[in-house]
Amino acid sequence: MDKLTLAVVSRNYFNMPAWLGLHAGLFAAEGIDLTIDHIEGIEEVNDRVRDGRAQLAYGVTEHVILDAETGGRQVIIGGNVNRLPFSLVARPGIEGIEGLRGKRIGVSSLRAGSSSLVMKMLAAHGLHHPDDYEIIPCGPILARWELLRSGGIDAGLQGAPLNHIALDQGFVSLAEPRQDFQFTSLDVDAGWAASHRDLVLRFLRGFLRAHERFFTDRDLTREVAVKESGIEPRYADRAWEEYVQAEIFPRDGEASAAGVQNLIETSALIRDLPSRARTRAEDYIDRSWLAEARASL
């Protein structure tokens, strides 16, 4: 068995295809002993690919773009969260996005991730950072949920199933963004991949089978979600229904050109990258890997 490490962001539902592939033995069937490292700091996920502690990542896609703009070699070889799965959840008593004026908004990081989305969403309602609200970098979804419950922040993006849990506990949803947006993706160092071609292709065969299994096996998906994240079965089912109906995960495993393009354009509104070398989504995606893996199934 060949060992591989996949770095992922926290223990949230975004990891479901990898969890499913691991529990269903889809990677083991390809001779791969897969370790999934759950990382709380979103910057560290892609950092681990860069320094070799992980070979692959379900990383925040904006980090791939920022890495490329500074001469890095990371590339997107598959999709993950291709469409936004979030609710902008606020504490009770806040009415509408306009009600966030003067409030504290939790984001994963100031450098990338949910901060660009939050800034764009609030700007559409006349609220601009830093004059009209405060941004609190607090880490990924689970950390934002804890701070929202404790009063450390007034609002933040929450994905399924935590958005459903929050609403059932009396919190309110101010928006439900569902547009194409490559929030996270399957990323790899292009140089490492080129020198480990057979291993990457074997991983991708398991990856493709895991995506198909997610869409066709609700019962196993529920079981794995409960084991890995500790959520109640009813919330696992609600998350599965939302992800399937909206095709938040890509059934074919592919990254979304429209989603990456929306990310580039949103990031450009917030991040000052005067020397940006690439402007097209496909400049960051290498589809040859999945094409070859799919042909060998």
When computed from its CA atoms, the radius of gyration of the chain, rounded to whole angstroms, is 18
**Whether 201 contacts 208, CB under 8 Å:** no
Stated as kind and residue range, the H or E segment containing 2 is strand 2-9
Measured from the Cβ of residue 124, the count of other Cβ atoms closer than 10 Å reads 10
98 and 200 both lie in a single domain: no
Q: Mapping DSSP to helix (H, G, I), strand (E, B) and coil, where does residue 124 land?
A: coil
Nearest to 63 by CA among 260, 288, 280, 289: 260
213, 249 in Cβ contact below 8 A? no
66: number of CA atoms within 13 Å, CB side? 17
Among 22-36, 119-133, 195-209, the least confident range: 119-133
Q: Is the peptide bond before 177 cis (omega within 30 degrees of 0)?
A: no
The answer to whether residues 110 and 49 belong to one domain is no
Arithmetic mean of pLDDT, 154-163: 92
Pair 77, 104 in one domain: no
How many domains does the chain contain in total?
Answer: 2
CA separation for the pair 162, 239 (Å, rounded): 9
φ, ψ of residue 90 in degrees (nearest 5): -130, 160
For residue range 74-83, what is the model confidence (pLDDT) as tens digits? 999 999 999 9
Q: Which domain holds residue 137?
A: 86-177
| 11 and 151 belong to one structural domain | no
- Beta bridge partners, 104, equal 134
How confident is the model over 127-135, as a mean pLDDT? Answer: 94
CATH number at residue 195: 3.40.190.10
pLDDT of 112: 62
Specify whether 72 is located in the same domain as 194.
Answer: yes
- Residues 97, 173 share a domain: yes
Encode pLDDT of 209-266 as tens digits.
Answer: 999 999 999 999 999 999 999 999 999 999 999 999 999 999 999 999 999 999 888 8
How far apart (Å, rounded) are the C-alpha atoms in residues 193 and 254?
17
pLDDT on residue 43: 83
Identify the domain boundary among 177, 209, 227. Answer: 177
